Amino acid sequence: MAAGQRVYRANDLALQFDCGSIVLAWQGDSIICAAGLYSVRDKRLVASHPIGEALVLFTDGQDFYELSGSSLYVIKNRHNGEVSEPPVITSPLPDGEYADRVTLQYGGGTGYLDSKATRSGTLVSSGGTHTLLVIGAWGLSARADFTITPALTHITIRGGDKAVEQGGSITLYAVYHPDGASPVPVIFTSDSDCVTVTSSGRVTGVAPGRAVITARTADGRYTATCYIEVSENLLVHTGDYRVDRDTETVCITGEATAETLLAAFSVSKGTVRLQTASGEAVTSGLLGTGMQLVLVNSFDEVIDRLTVAVRSMIMCSSSVFWNCRTASALRRAWLRISTETAMFRITICATCVPSCFGPVRIRVSTRAVIFWRC
């Protein structure tokens, strides 16, 4: 039994030992006092920790007490005096950014990299954002989010291996591998005079022929190639249209008909056809976005294809109804239309009007170019 800071034998009340500080809790042969852990069996202080007025909690497997909200001390019944502090991560640093790789360094718990078990000393080189979570005793944890920019291993060219007409242009782009690798300066060159190419990758057809375009990093370590063919057998026109070879589209502003489009492209070498996205022939009527303009040769083989993109300038007023569920979405759409000049594909549908909302008139006055679909 214990009284104050002393421990007595129960059968004859003989003093067994003096803890030197007040006894806070006792279970089995473990006594926790203000000075630390006393062993009844060994009759000595086996783990010295200044506890003060700490809250003491015993479990079947361990005795432990909490000194503060951020530091937890664990004392096992076998008196090995284990002290559990929050885990510590020394590498990577929180919100750290690393080039190529980083070595994980931590202690005081079990580590998880992106939810998968890992070990201290592991080398991480995969690009992107990662999370290292270290979980220690009693749920104490430490976390570090970090980003790795992987080392560049090679480059490729996006937008190449295409054909352009004389005077037509296309833009090539360097793609850096692996994903997330840092961009580096790249210079584009051509092996043929049938095209001109700027150092930034803008290629323009000059005369019929085939050119090999090379993209080379400024330090000369990495190269990539593609071909650009300048062909006379492509869709060309005499009308007020713009052909964008980067996106393989023919851009039309305002209302236009199938008859006028087919007439303008009839100067192409081959047979020009207009069809829907599903392949149905279109010979008359208004044009719609998504239609396909195709050029076929004498063997009925498709040698060129452009997608029709109809753009309309909208200057009008319109009344729409909205309810609680659609108000925020329509408001966001309105803000985008009224403040930006990019192209949007939008659909406005009527909805039921609850009693709490009346009709709201929205005035559309914008220079935004809209793909309008009914």
Kindly state whether residue 83 falls inside one of the protein's structural domains. no
Question: How confident is the model at residue 109, as a pLDDT?
Answer: 85
The residue-averaged pLDDT of 357-370 equals: 36
Kindly state whether residue 113 falls inside one of the protein's structural domains. yes
Q: How many Cβ atoms are within 10 Å of 73's Cβ, its own excluded?
A: 24
Question: How confident is the model at residue 334, as a pLDDT?
Answer: 38
Residues 304 and 317 in one domain: no
User: How many domains does the chain contain in total?
Assistant: 5
CB proximity list for 118: less than 8 A, separation 6 or greater: 104, 111, 112, 132
Kindly state whether residue 255 falls inside one of the protein's structural domains. yes
* Residue 370: pLDDT over 60: no
What's the whole-number average pLDDT of the chain? 76
Question: How confident is the model at residue 217, as a pLDDT?
Answer: 96
**Which position has the higher pLDDT, 8 or 163?**
163
The residue-averaged pLDDT of 308-336 equals: 45
Kindly state whether residue 82 falls inside one of the protein's structural domains. no
Question: How confident is the model at residue 61, as a pLDDT?
Answer: 47
Residues 61 and 98 in one domain: no
* Residue 320: pLDDT over 60: no
Question: How confident is the model at residue 346, as a pLDDT?
Answer: 39
Q: Are 368 and 341 in contact (CB under 8 A)?
A: yes
Residue 280: phi, psi to the nearest 5? -80, 135
| Range of lowest pLDDT (181-190, 251-260, 262-271, 331-340) | 331-340
Query: Which tokens go with 289?
Result: 């976005």
**Which position has the higher pLDDT, 253 or 200?**
200
| CATH code, domain with 204 | 2.60.40.1080
DSSP 8-class letter at 204:
E
**Which position has the higher pLDDT, 256 or 294?**
294
The DSSP-derived string for 228-278 is EEE-SSS---SSS-EEETTTTEEEEES--BHHHHHHHGGGSSSEEEEE-TT
Q: Are 76 and 62 in contact (CB under 8 A)?
A: yes
Confidence class for position 39, pLDDT limits 50, 70, 90? confident
Cα separation, 182 vs 300, whole angstroms: 46
Question: How confident is the model at residue 28, as a pLDDT?
Answer: 63
Residues 106 and 142 in one domain: yes
Question: How confident is the model at residue 254, as a pLDDT?
Answer: 77
Domain boundary pick from 210, 230, 250: 230
Confidence class for position 31, pLDDT limits 50, 70, 90? confident
Q: In the β-sheet with 15-18, what is the strand arrangement from edge to edge?
A: 2-3, 6-8, 15-18
DSSP 8-class letter at 290:
T
The residue-averaged pLDDT of 44-49 equals: 69
Question: How confident is the model at residue 253, as a pLDDT?
Answer: 83
* Residue 131: pLDDT over 80: yes
Element (H, E) at 230: strand 223-230
Kindly state whether residue 236 falls inside one of the protein's structural domains. no
User: Of 332, 339, 326, nearest to 365 (Cα)?
Assistant: 339
Element (H, E) at 330: helix 327-339
Kindly state whether residue 367 falls inside one of the protein's structural domains. yes
Q: Which domain holds residue 364?
A: 313-372
Cα separation, 51 vs 68, whole angstroms: 10
Question: How confident is the model at residue 259, as a pLDDT?
Answer: 94
The residue-averaged pLDDT of 261-274 equals: 94
Amino acid at 137: A
Residues 161 and 221 in one domain: yes
Residues 248 and 182 in one domain: no
The residue-averaged pLDDT of 237-253 equals: 89
Cα separation, 323 vs 330, whole angstroms: 10
Question: What share of the chain in percent tops pLDDT 90?
Answer: 46
Cα separation, 52 vs 116, whole angstroms: 40
Residues 56 and 7 in one domain: yes
Query: Which tokens go with 283?
Result: 């010979």
Residues 226 and 159 in one domain: yes
Residues 138 and 93 in one domain: yes
Residues 132 and 94 in one domain: yes
Beta bridge partners of 369: 313
Kindly state whether residue 282 falls inside one of the protein's structural domains. yes
Q: Are 195 and 203 in contact (CB under 8 A)?
A: yes
Residues 51 and 30 in one domain: yes
Question: How confident is the model at residue 160, as a pLDDT?
Answer: 93
Kindly state whether residue 12 falls inside one of the protein's structural domains. yes
Tens-digit pLDDT profile for residues 54-107: 445 555 444 444 444 444 455 444 444 444 567 899 999 999 999 889 999 998
Tens-digit pLDDT profile for residues 95-125: 999 988 999 999 888 899 999 999 999 999 8
Considering 72-86, 93-107, 130-144, 341-355, the range whose residues carry the highest mean pLDDT is 93-107
Residue 147 to residues 71, 92, 273, 315: CA-CA distances in angstroms?
29, 9, 51, 47
Residues 304 and 356 in one domain: no
